[in-house]
A and B are shown apart, each in its own frame.
Chain A
Amino acid sequence: MSTFAEYRSWLVVEAATGYGAATVAGKLFADLGCTVARLVAPQSVPDDGIDSDRELDELVSRGKHSVAIDSTSPHATAALDALLGAAEVLVADREGLLRLQAALHAADLRWRYPALTVCACTWFGMDGPLATWTGGEEIVQAVSGIMSITGHPGSGPTRVAGAPFTHAAAMLAVTSSLADVLRKKAGEKAGALDVSVYDTAIAFESASLPVYFLTGTAPHGIGNRHSMSVPWNSFRCADGWVIVCAGNHPNWVRMCEMIGRPELVADPRYATQEDRIAQVDGLEAEIVAWTRQRPVAEVEAQLVAGNIAGGSVLALPDVLAHPQFRARNLADAASGGRQAGGIFPLNREPLAVRQGAWRAGAGTRAILMDRCGVSPADYERWRASGALGDENGVAYAAGA
């Protein structure tokens, strides 16, 4: 198993609730081998304790240690000092950061912990008119314009499935935090970083916003087509769909051979890329006449044989069962796939991940005493006061 030895000495504190970019950022730090202390309130109970919330929680919990500190307790300050004073990075959502600032009476946590990189990882950022809005992946997709540029013509705005912008923001938050650690190593002060899902979505509009810049007109969804390359679309087969991206002339020639219509290469209607774009409907009809008669597997095999970029449109269950998904270790085998794996291999091996204690409060004792040097007497005193929760104390519903 491969790892970056550097990170095994790092303590990262995650202060976030629910499934958001800060929670995913914590998972990415754990993937690197950091000790990740996930700060929870001892009394935290999800709304209705639904299974899906627990499942989401577990997905991003690999290698994390749940540390239960009641920030409203008089003893919380000492416990938080022990935890944050030993940490390299704090990654927090807006509520998590504000809660800590209130508990510690510090508008900037770096006043209290000068060496701590503080990374706010929020839906809309820490400033701006939407900063206080309740967010979510689709809420950001709506107000950032992503939904407006996703969709088939005439179908209206459409959300992108999953949480691509939340996850991308998490990656950018970790990148920003690592950059800040490098700056600290060079003698600079720790940074107060502000990464948001909204900013990430805007950055990802790098091919669409320019259309507005240059034309003054807002672009809208064009389905699966490409504005400058034809054929480039999804095509119905006898038992599903394939995607074909054969947008240059050599690919077009191979495509014509594949569908048994080599004469189309010389057809003046399709002679140039511009011609093919102008005649896209007729050209696609020629292709679908061939694909509809064949199963996806046959069409995909012919695309591969013809060295044409394309493939089947897989449903998520098929993706999760695909040998490629397993070969890339995208789900953690040790958890039976209930926890996510690492997101990139290092030196041709999966990243090594430490064992965690992610169920609510289960890591409190180990993190505070073993990792942060809290004495047994202090620990027991804080615990008896109700400031801490651990596996022997408060009963939890969250993640239990």
Chain B
Amino acid sequence: MPQALDGIRVVDIGISTAGPYAARLLGDLGADVIKVEPLDGENTRSLGLQYGNTGYLYHVNNYNKRSITLKVQHPRGRDVFLDLVAKSDVVIENFAIGTMDKWGIGYDACRRANPSIVYCSVKGFGESGPLRDRRAFDTVTQALSGIMHSTGKPGDPPLKAGPSVCDLMGASVSSLAVMCALVARRPYESQLVDTSLFDMGAFALMPLWPLARRGIADGLRSLGNEHPLHAPYSDYACADGRLMVAVVADAQWRALAPLVGLPAAWTRVQRVEQRRAIDAALAAWLATRPAQQAAEALQAVAVPAAPILDLAQVATSAQIASRRMLGRIRHATYGEVPLINTPLATGTADGRSPRRHQPPLGENNDEVIGELLGRRDEFASLRAEGVIR
């Protein structure tokens, strides 16, 4: 079955997570993603946990791609890159501001090479604003966008989210922005989409903006897992673990109240006033019940509750299997590689699973630089000059 981005070519010159993951999402939708790597490989190939001598993050962020090596800082490398851009539809990059221009392959150079190009610039703080030149990682943008200050437990230091939420939301918005441009594009109209990790951190906190306007957002961390406007809303000890309960509606409270012996008529305001009494009653009810059983009992009456699972429990759960979020792919060198499937709905029956595993470094030099760009007879000199590997 054809995929949405069949026939679309994406040049991925990103590093780490935000750029490469954005490009991979487009690959999940069928795009031919060509990853342009330095001669010693993109940084995550050697970073962190390894699976078969390749960083696991590289496996996850770079399946459904081909790989070429290219020293774009070299004049001949730049020419090859722009030649590739001329035969492509999308460029994604996430280098520091000015880096691509310094190499002669920024937006202006790319649109000269291809007047219809969609150019996606993924930055820590975007291409505008007073922080645009600041160095950034996911953690820095979590700090400056308010996520860290708002996350944590009473008395603890500020806390970052476990996952790299700004990086991954940055990737998500970048694939979205590119898709918007592709659906709407017209010949000879290039598009610059400018996405930022800081924007995503602030966007993630959007439900809390009204609290900030009310002057009650400063102390969110002191609430731990509670909500200033709702109760019961926290995590509670069960017989064998912890349970998250998040009651936000009167109907939910009316269903819960009889179980814990409290007045069903309490309004939201009264529930917040009686937060500690409710917590004590709920804690007593939960103390003797296993978390899963308690969650099922509460969910049976439409009360939002769920056990707090660790990743071992998650990875072996019926839910993750049912959603087909874990997959395996056969790698010629490494054997079976366990992977996380795409969260996108691809519209095809088997679209969740990777089509191809992460590419060995420069595996596709010949078919891309040689065949697609017609430069096979330059290989020897490009290698001799250190432009390709």
Contact = CB atoms under 8 A, between A and B. Distances in A.
Interface in B329-351: 338, 340-347
B203 A330 contact: yes
Contacts of B244: 138-139, 141-142, 147, 159
Interface in B231-250: 233, 235, 242-244, 246, 248-250
Interface stretch (B161-169, B362-370, B373-381): B161-169
Which of A50, A137, A160, A309 has most B Cβ within 10 Å? Answer: A160
Given A152-B159, A224-B160, A227-B48, A158 B151 contact: yes
Contacts of A348: 127-128, 192, 194
A199 B325 CA distance: 7
Contacts of B159: 150-152, 158, 221, 223-224
A384 interface: no
Nearest to B141: A311
Contact of A312 (B143, B156, B212, B229): B143
Interface in B302-316: 302-315
B192 A134 contact: no
B191 A346 contact: yes
Given A171-B173, A176-B346, A309-B136, A158 B191 contact: no
B280 interface: no
Given A178-B180, A208-B162, A331-B209, A171 B169 contact: yes
B311 A211 contact: yes
Interface string A107-139: 000000000000100001101111011111111
Contacts of A145: 309-311, 313-314
A266 interface: no
A319 to B, nearest CB: 4
Given A6-B184, A176-B347, A309 B342 contact: no
Interface in B188-222: 191-196, 198-200, 202-213, 215, 217-218, 220
A353 interface: no
A322 B6 CA distance: 42
Interface string A185-220: 010100101111011101111111111111011111
A179 interface: yes
B275 interface: no
Contacts of B251: 47
A179 B162 contact: no
A175 B312 contact: no
A182 to B, nearest CB: 4
A205 B180 contact: no
Interface stretch (B53-61, B75-83, B97-105): B53-61
B262 interface: no
A128 B152 contact: no
Given A59-B209, A304-B134, A344-B177, A149 B199 contact: no
Contacts of B299: 132-134
A344 B206 contact: no
Given A148-B311, A324-B131, A344 B208 contact: no
A242 to B, nearest CB: 8
Interface in B1-59: 1-6, 17, 21, 25, 29, 47-49, 51, 56-57, 59
Interface in A315-336: 315-320, 322-325, 327-328, 330-331
B225 interface: yes
B9 to A, nearest CB: 15
A56 interface: yes
Contacts of A226: 139
Interface in A297-315: 304, 307-315
B70 to A, nearest CB: 24
A209 B140 contact: no
Given A150-B159, A311-B140, A315-B217, A324 B323 contact: no
B206 A162 contact: yes
Given A149-B162, A175-B176, A324-B129, A163 B309 contact: no
Contact of A55 (B199, B204, B210): B210
A4 B181 contact: yes
Which of B148, B163, B175, B346 has most A Cβ within 10 Å? Answer: B163
B183 A128 contact: no
Interface string B121-133: 0000111111100
Given A128-B318, A158-B224, A194-B345, A234 B158 contact: yes
A41 interface: no
Contacts of B302: 134
A202 B169 CA distance: 13
A255 interface: no
A143 B307 contact: yes
Given A4-B180, A219-B311, A343-B173, A323 B235 contact: no
A345 interface: yes
A208 B311 contact: yes
Which of A158, A200, A214 has most B Cβ within 10 Å? Answer: A158
Contacts of B229: 50, 52
Interface in A265-316: 304, 307-316
A141 B242 CA distance: 13
Nearest to A187: B2
Nearest to B8: A182
Interface in A331-389: 331, 337, 340, 343-348
Contact of B143 (A156, A163, A243, A325): A243
B311 A212 contact: yes
A346 B128 CA distance: 12
B199 A343 contact: yes
A218 B198 CA distance: 29
B173 to A, nearest CB: 6
Given A128-B323, A138-B246, A348-B127, A211 B49 contact: yes
30 contacts: A4-B184, A7-B180, A32-B180, A47-B249, A50-B268, A127-B323, A134-B299, A139-B304, A140-B306, A145-B311, A148-B310, A149-B311, A152-B157, A160-B204, A161-B147, A162-B207, A175-B25, A186-B2, A202-B325, A211-B49, A227-B48, A241-B149, A241-B157, A243-B143, A314-B144, A316-B217, A325-B202, A328-B128, A343-B173, A345-B126
